Chain A
Amino acid sequence: MPEIDVAGLGKTFGEQRALDDVSFTVTDGELFTLLGPSGCGKSTTLMSIAGFQTPDDGRIAVGGNPIFDASSRLNLAAERRNLGIVFQSYAVWPHMTVFDNLAFPLKVRKLSRKDLGNRVREVLELVDLAPYEERYPHQLSGGQQQRVALGRALVYSPSVLLLDEPFSNLDAKLRERARTWVKDLQHTLGLTTIFVTHDQDEALSMSDRVLVMNSGVVQQIGTPEEVYRQPANRFVAEFVGQVNLITGTVAGYENSTAIVDAGEGARGLRVHVDQAPQQRASLTVAVRPEALVVEPAGSATHNGSNTLSARVISVAFLGDHYQYELEASGLALTAQSPHKVGSDEVKVHIPPDACAVVA
């Protein structure tokens, strides 16, 4: 199974820079996710790999074989790239039965009748559609159509699998099931996969690694944990999950800890940093709402550093937790807690390790 090597992709649509020096490597058997808001360039990247978009610069290689190279004007036609792709709309051919949909790639490859039948049935079995081979797509549910699309992309043993927002047309319940199912299938087959989505939950729960993109620029590449806990910048912090951003100036530094002044009542916040910041420099840190600790004003668990007294602006009950909007010494903070704090006056503790410097 090959790895996918994308280097320096660039593409301009009119005035707009759709892709700007996009580079990444997907290792063998990995599920790699391109995550970003709509229009960020993730689909353009995927379609460039598939051969439906032609970037202006850069190189793409699969398993060491270049399939696109702007400098040498190499641009292998989509049909010769041997990649499996599942489109957002599934693109199941409506005039063909399930069997014929899966058989088409094999007919193009001129397989004998017998081999073709065997292979199609084998893959139908794999995607749990064996009883439906004579059906037409309009007789299938959305989830089943998606499995047809997946089966069709797998039937010719493509070198890699590309998934373009495949779950966005499924309802919430079905989506969860489909995610697990696709992840298991990908794992079992050990298929190198690139997955495009704008849904952070999907990205975090399925991926081996995530690439976060915005305005055609790669923001961060990392495991789901890294992207969530140590966002590389403000955009990643805000796009992947909810976040509090606290901006202040650096007042001191000792042992991987920076002392940050963030306004009148919030002086001397201790923040974990990887490298020493400049004295008096401006610093923005990101803290996840669930990392904040909210306690009644009188509680004695957290005292001293990084604990601010706060006023509750609003509380929302969200089933598995409460969400607090707090005003803490001039900072507006969002916090989550499994417990309901009775009073309006509370204390909020910001654990130094939960802070990530984003700017």
Chain B
Amino acid sequence: MAVVAKSIALPRPRRQLLPAGALQAAVWVLVVGLIVGPFIPMLYASVRDRPLYEAGGVLTLDAYRQLVSDGEFWRAWANTLQYAGLTTVMAVIGGASVAILVSRTNLVFRRVFGRLILLPIVLPPLGLVLGWIVVWGPGGYLTNLFSQRLHLGTLAIDTIPGMSLIEASRLLPVAYMTCEAALARADSSLEDAARSAGAGPARVLRSITIPMLRPALLNSSTLIFTLAIASLGIPLLLGTARNIKFVSSYLYLQWTNAAQPDPATVSAGAMMLLVVATLLLVLRNRLLGAEARYVSIAGRAGRNAMLPLRGLRWPLAIAITLYLVFSTVIPVLGLAAMSVVVVLTPLVAPWHLLTWDNWHQLGTGEFRRAIVNSLQISLVGAILATALVTIATLVAHRSRFPLRKALPFVMLYPRATPGLIIGIGFFWTYLLTWGVGSWLRGSIWGIMLAFCVRNIPFAYVVMYPTLARIGEELDRAGRAAGAGWWRTCRSIVLPLLRPAIFSAFILMFVEILCDYDPALFLVKPGNEVIGTTMLSQFIQGSVGPVAALAMVQVAFTVLVLGVGSRLFKIGVTGGHDA
């Protein structure tokens, strides 16, 4: 003991001017208000006999009665359930199979497949759907080519199974990521033990690997089913033309097409959809709770021996490649080709029809406005939403705020909420909030708010695992050292959370840029965003410029994700298995 430090008299830490509780309460109210708040006017609108903007009126269940007695509404439900069921089966079987092949077998190029299979979630969903239609749709390029030149039929994508296939290819990565994460968590020595006990590869898969995946399968099934029910783009673009209605498209068409808009029934239908989605979310939370029991002790010591596929090594790899080409590469190439030709047809070679007109159009009018608006709201929205979610996550997991336990559930809630419901909710909310509401309704910021709320779950699921890894003793040490809650968060937790904050920001930017369905109920001339413009222009038939616009969206997405993952070494895709 060389030196004896004198005990010195230091000032005691002082009480904070603004109690931490006030900030925590403000954030809590803001988050819960933004996410749950918009449903209240919608509920109110569904039980009134006239629109909210008309004075007078009485409470009534007429809208619900009207819906329940409408045969078309029930047909829409039947179609929706069939569609969601088929989608779930295809996406989960596909995703789980690829996950097993990639992480447990000696498939060739398995690492490459592991990354490529995620492509559909980093590409804008609406653009991808348009790509499918351009290439495989009725009158699509390859559809015509096959039937006219080769006299071969192709899959009719404007049927329920066809639409499910597109939806499944969009959602397959969700199942893949959930299963892949479960497989990575599970100790592969469990499988090694079965092989030592004499089981062949097929037997190991059947008796060990697949049973261990059960929670992940259930979990991703519920999520995919919920997302498929909520889907609007594919039903609207492909189903409507063939008069196949889904709940989401039924409600949307009721809202826009009816001679006399009748929002009460739309709100009532949205409430019913919301209840179904909420029940599915609650079910999924139960399943996630059950999943904890299946977690085997993490023993990640050595690289596990891969199950040998023997003669199937190459055929399976070729099958996955074909799937990727068919579902992702061709649609994107189709869009790219579409954007530089006058018309895409097998009758005339495309190089005779080359034109820059489509791209020139992007510099003018609605297209230009949409791009500028989208970039603005993506940037500002990503900043605001990331900041809010960051603090809300800290309140949820690192404070003693009495109501903190509700926050994780609330922040994950929009994931299960159909975008059109969020759109309707915000529409009514803006109508009822006087000056602020009418300003939001008339500007792009109202759309931004709805997009932010819709995508909060992504930011939360990126943020939370990192926060959970930051030991709680680190902030306790800060408190013991005399720093208040906010000072501790600022000086200790936030710096350690920085990589996750950047990831969340990048992900939010991309998600807001690609989002569209909440905006369908909020868009007005002047505040269009890329997604709404793509949809409306496509329906009006200007396919070329829409293809160019989709390519712009793809380019921005790839650019931002690429730069983001380079700069911050982040796995942006992590958020989607939420």
Q: A119 touching B473 by the CB < 8 A rule?
A: no
B13 within 8 A of A: yes
A79 within 8 A of B: yes
Q: A184 touching B481 by the CB < 8 A rule?
A: no
Q: Which of A151-181 contact B (CB under 8 A)?
A: 152-154, 156-157
One of B354-362, B365-373, B483-491, B506-514 at the interface:
B483-491
Give the residues in chain A near B8, CB-CB below 8 Å: 119, 157
Tell me how far the C-beta of B492 lies from the nearest C-beta in chain A, rounded to whole angstroms. 6
Q: A106 touching B10 by the CB < 8 A rule?
A: yes
Q: A87 contacts which of B476, B483, B487 (Cβ < 8 Å)?
A: B476
Q: A188 touching B482 by the CB < 8 A rule?
A: no
Taking CB as reference atom, which chain B residue is nearest A52? B476
**Cα distance A105–B10 when bound, in Å?**
11
Q: B5 contacts which of A81, A92, A123 (Cβ < 8 Å)?
A: A123
Taking CB as reference atom, which chain B residue is nearest A119? B8
Q: Which of B496-555 contact A (CB under 8 A)?
A: 496
Q: A108 touching B481 by the CB < 8 A rule?
A: yes
Q: A126 touching B3 by the CB < 8 A rule?
A: yes
Take A89-B471, A185-B1, A188-B1 as given contacts and tell me if A80 and B12 are in contact as well, using a CB distance cutoff of 8 Å.
Answer: yes
B563 within 8 A of A: no
Q: Which of A299-335 contact B (CB under 8 A)?
A: none
Tell me how far the C-beta of A280 lies from the nearest C-beta in chain B, rounded to whole angstroms. 52
Give the residues in chain A near B12, CB-CB below 8 Å: 80, 82, 109
A73 within 8 A of B: no
B4 within 8 A of A: yes
Q: B473 touching A154 by the CB < 8 A rule?
A: no
Give the residues in chain A near B477, CB-CB below 8 Å: 85, 87, 91-93, 149, 152
Give the residues in chain B near A105, CB-CB below 8 Å: 481-483
Q: A109 contacts which of B6, B11, B496 (Cβ < 8 Å)?
A: B11
**Cα distance A330–B344 when bound, in Å?**
99
Tell me how far the C-beta of A51 lies from the nearest C-beta in chain B, rounded to whole angstroms. 7
Taking CB as reference atom, which chain A residue is nearest B496? A95
Interface code A84-127, partner B: CB below 8 Å = 1, 0 otherwise? 11011101111100000000111011110000000100110110
Q: B15 touching A80 by the CB < 8 A rule?
A: yes
Give the residues in chain A near B478, CB-CB below 8 Å: 93, 104
A341 within 8 A of B: no
Q: B492 touching A93 by the CB < 8 A rule?
A: yes
Taking CB as reference atom, which chain B residue is nearest A95? B495
Interface code A45-69, partner B: CB below 8 Å = 1, 0 otherwise? 0000011100000000000000000
Q: A78 touching B479 by the CB < 8 A rule?
A: yes
Q: B9 touching A157 by the CB < 8 A rule?
A: yes
A189 within 8 A of B: yes
Taking CB as reference atom, which chain B residue is nearest A82? B12
B61 within 8 A of A: no
**Cα distance A97–B484 when bound, in Å?**
21
Q: Which of B1-33 contact A (CB under 8 A)?
A: 1-13, 15
Of the candidates B3, B5, B12, B484, the one having the most CB atoms from chain A within 10 angstroms of its own CB is B5
Give the residues in chain B near A149, CB-CB below 8 Å: 477
Q: B10 touching A109 by the CB < 8 A rule?
A: yes
Give the residues in chain B near A153, CB-CB below 8 Å: 480
Taking CB as reference atom, which chain B residue is nearest A156? B10
A359 within 8 A of B: no
Taking CB as reference atom, which chain A residue is nearest B481? A105
A83 within 8 A of B: yes
B190 within 8 A of A: no
Tell me how far the C-beta of A177 lies from the nearest C-beta in chain B, rounded to whole angstroms. 14
Q: A85 contacts which of B471, B480, B484, B495 (Cβ < 8 Å)?
A: B480
Give the residues in chain A near B10, CB-CB below 8 Å: 106, 109, 111, 156-157
Taking CB as reference atom, which chain B residue is nearest A157? B7
Tell me how far the C-beta of A167 lies from the nearest C-beta in chain B, rounded to whole angstroms. 16
B272 within 8 A of A: no
B403 within 8 A of A: no
Give the residues in chain B near A77, CB-CB below 8 Å: 479, 484
**Cα distance A118–B476 when bound, in Å?**
26
Give the residues in chain A near B9, CB-CB below 8 Å: 157
Q: Which of B302-354 contact A (CB under 8 A)?
A: none
Q: B479 touching A51 by the CB < 8 A rule?
A: yes
**Cα distance A188–B2 when bound, in Å?**
11
Q: B480 touching A108 by the CB < 8 A rule?
A: no
Give the residues in chain B near A78, CB-CB below 8 Å: 476, 479-480
Q: B4 touching A189 by the CB < 8 A rule?
A: yes
B559 within 8 A of A: no
Q: Which of A236-268 contact B (CB under 8 A)?
A: none
Taking CB as reference atom, which chain A residue is nearest B15? A80
Take A78-B479, A84-B480, A154-B5 as given contacts and tell me if A91 and B11 are in contact as well, using a CB distance cutoff of 8 Å.
Answer: no
**Cα distance A153–B477 when bound, in Å?**
9
Give the residues in chain B near A157, CB-CB below 8 Å: 7-10
Taking CB as reference atom, which chain B residue is nearest A184? B1
**Cα distance A85–B6 when bound, in Å?**
19
Tell me how far the C-beta of A97 lies from the nearest C-beta in chain B, rounded to whole angstroms. 13
Give the residues in chain B near A126, CB-CB below 8 Å: 1-5
Q: A125 touching B3 by the CB < 8 A rule?
A: yes
**Cα distance A153–B473 when bound, in Å?**
13
Q: A104 touching B491 by the CB < 8 A rule?
A: yes
B474 within 8 A of A: yes
**Cα distance A189–B4 when bound, in Å?**
7
**Cα distance A242–B476 when bound, in Å?**
37
**Cα distance A189–B487 when bound, in Å?**
30
Give the residues in chain B near A80, CB-CB below 8 Å: 12-13, 15, 482
**Cα distance A154–B491 when bound, in Å?**
20
Interface code A15-52, partner B: CB below 8 Å = 1, 0 otherwise? 00000000000000000000000000000000000111
Taking CB as reference atom, which chain A residue is nearest B6? A122
**Cα distance A87–B11 when bound, in Å?**
24
Tell me how far the C-beta of A299 lies from the nearest C-beta in chain B, rounded to whole angstroms. 49
Interface code A195-207, partner B: CB below 8 Å = 1, 0 otherwise? 0000000000000
Q: A104 contacts which of B1, B2, B481 (Cβ < 8 Å)?
A: B481
Give the residues in chain A near B483, CB-CB below 8 Å: 79, 104-105, 108
**Cα distance A149–B4 when bound, in Å?**
18
Q: A108 touching B13 by the CB < 8 A rule?
A: yes
Q: A188 touching B4 by the CB < 8 A rule?
A: yes
Taking CB as reference atom, which chain B residue is nearest A154? B5
Q: A94 touching B481 by the CB < 8 A rule?
A: no
Taking CB as reference atom, which chain B residue is nearest A102? B481
**Cα distance A109–B13 when bound, in Å?**
6
Taking CB as reference atom, which chain A residue is nearest B484? A79
**Cα distance A80–B19 when bound, in Å?**
13
Tell me how far the C-beta of B477 lies from the nearest C-beta in chain A, rounded to whole angstroms. 4
Q: Which of B149-178 contact A (CB under 8 A)?
A: none
Interface code B456-485, partner A: CB below 8 Å = 1, 0 otherwise? 000000000000000101101111111110
Tell me how far the C-beta of B98 lies from the nearest C-beta in chain A, rounded to whole angstroms. 37
Taking CB as reference atom, which chain B residue is nearest A111? B10
Tell me how far the C-beta of B485 lies from the nearest C-beta in chain A, rounded to whole angstroms. 8
**Cα distance A227–B478 when bound, in Å?**
36
Tell me how far the C-beta of B404 lies from the nearest C-beta in chain A, rounded to whole angstroms. 15
Give the residues in chain B near A128, CB-CB below 8 Å: 2
14 contacts across the A-B interface (CB closer than 8 A): A82-B12, A83-B480, A84-B480, A87-B477, A89-B471, A91-B476, A92-B477, A104-B483, A111-B10, A123-B5, A125-B3, A128-B2, A157-B8, A189-B5
Given A108-B482, A122-B5, 18 other A-B residues pairs in contact with their CB atoms under 8 A = A79-B488, A80-B15, A81-B480, A88-B473, A91-B471, A92-B477, A94-B496, A104-B478, A104-B483, A105-B482, A108-B483, A109-B12, A111-B10, A125-B3, A125-B5, A152-B477, A156-B481, A157-B10
Interface of A toward B, CB cutoff 8 Å: 50-52, 77-85, 87-89, 91-95, 104-106, 108-111, 119, 122-123, 125-126, 128, 149, 152-154, 156-157, 184-185, 188-189
**Leading 10 A-B pairs by shortest Cβ distance:** A105-B481, A91-B473, A91-B477, A87-B473, A78-B479, A85-B480, A108-B482, A125-B3, A126-B5, A108-B483
